[in-house]
Amino acid sequence: MTTINLPNADRSITPYTLTGDPIPFVKVKASDFPRIAYSAAHVVADPLALNDPWLTPVIDWDTTLKFRHRMWDLGLGVAEAMDTAQRGMGLTWTEAQELIRRSQAEARTRDDSLIAYGAGTDHLMPGPDVTIDDIIKAYEEQVGFVEAQGGRVILMASRALAAAAKSPDDYARVYGHVLSQVKQPVIMHWLGEMFDPALQGYWGNMDHDKAMDTCLEVIAANADKVDGIKISLLSAEKEIAMRRRLPVAVKMYTGDDFNYAELIAGDEQGYSHALLGIFDAIAPAASAGLSALGRGDTKAFFDILEPTVPLSRHIFAAPTRFYKTGVVFLAYLNGLQDHFAMIGGQHSTRSLQHLAELFRLADKARVLADPELATARMKAVLAVHGVAS
């Protein structure tokens, strides 16, 4: 058995012996799943670039795109250029456009590449002079770019709209105008303030239930242009309540990284599909669990996915917006990239204590693909922090 010395919450350092039996990587088809499942994918920084990482992102394109093929091999779709890719936290619209171009080119090389792209207004800085018309034009620019590449749109929430809107009517106006012009139905995205504090009060109300009323009214008025909605409020109760009120043809995509297993399994009144950042980190487990559900083996589905929930809750712990660090750290531990560096210097957003607990939980969730490699890489991180392992 492999053992490593890890720090604890009380600042002590004690041995931890790995016990996890890694979930194997098995290629499957999305058609094996009873749910549509997107993984919001991260980008891999180029640590050898001569740049200022906080100001000028440089992406390792080969490794980033190889990671997309891995998702497709596991039957998962890719939600591209989303917040997991550090959109608004290091990845600007300029880099996002290149990411979308390159990912769409890769997707065309396969017949099983489910992919959709985030389009928002992040190239428009919020400010007192920003008008609703400015926001509409910003959405039109990004939606137009995605559609010009032949891609499907995920309509992201807008910081500029959250700052400029005076009432729910402003949201209805913006979304109604944008949705009326899209070429194919979009996935809307309601990202809660726990993921992005600048989105507090989205849909014109601080009360999520009242905000939900506005969102549902927008969807109902444009149901033929909405494939589904992803909500990321970290509340199973709110998601289920909204799911039961959606028009029949509109899907719910869970963005709840705390309760995804039960929401995907569903109940007698329905279920959620998935569009999740945690699926980036636990892709083989997500694939195996969905395959089991496709075979009608609900017990195996929960046996595989329930142990990943404590890991996900840790990765997405407050401040939730820093979850990307845990996602990239797992990619490093699992040998999917050669370094633990992130664009924008975001690898520094979590403490060594956080990373040590992540290691333990990843082992218990069986998502350390090669325990010996993961241990060696964890020891390297510990050494940088002055901890002998």
Query: 185-240, pLDDT tens digit by residue?
Result: 999 999 999 999 999 999 999 999 999 999 999 999 999 999 999 999 999 999 99
Q: What is the DSSP letter of 295?
A: T
Tokens standing for residue 54: 């906080």
**Count of helix runs (H) and strand runs (E) in the chain:** 15, 10
pLDDT of residue 199: 98
Domain at 36, CATH number: 3.20.20.70
Q: What is each CA distance from 274 to 41, 219, 220, 254, in whole angstroms? A: 13, 19, 21, 5
What are 59-116's pLDDT values in tens digits?
A: 999 999 999 999 999 999 999 999 999 999 999 999 999 999 999 999 999 999 999 9
Residue 82 lies in a domain: yes
Residue 383 lies in a domain: no
- Give the DSSP H or E segment for 5: strand 3-7
Contact 389, 382 (CB under 8 A): yes
The rounded distance, in Å, linking the Cα atoms of 251 and 227 is: 6
Residue 241 lies in a domain: yes
Residue 199 lies in a domain: yes
Using 50, 70 and 90 to split pLDDT, how confident is the model at 338?
Answer: very high
Structural domains in the chain (count): 1
Overall average pLDDT of the 167-192 stretch? 98
Residue 114 lies in a domain: yes
The rounded distance, in Å, linking the Cα atoms of 340 and 77 is: 25
pTM for the whole structure = 0.97
Using 50, 70 and 90 to split pLDDT, how confident is the model at 20?
Answer: confident
Q: 110 in helix, strand or coil? A: coil
Q: Which domain holds residue 46?
A: 30-321
What are 118-127's pLDDT values in tens digits?
A: 999 999 999 9
Residue 7 pLDDT exceeds 90: yes
Residue 1 pLDDT exceeds 80: no
Residue 224 lies in a domain: yes
Residue 48 lies in a domain: yes
Residue 46 lies in a domain: yes
Q: What is each CA distance from 202 to 95, 192, 213, 258, in whole angstroms? A: 26, 8, 12, 21
pLDDT of residue 389: 73
Residue 162 pLDDT exceeds 80: yes
What are 139-151's pLDDT values in tens digits?
A: 999 999 999 999 9
Q: HEC profile for 162-195?
A: HHHCCCHHHHHHHHHHHHHHCCCCEEEEEECCCC
Contact 98, 43 (CB under 8 A): no
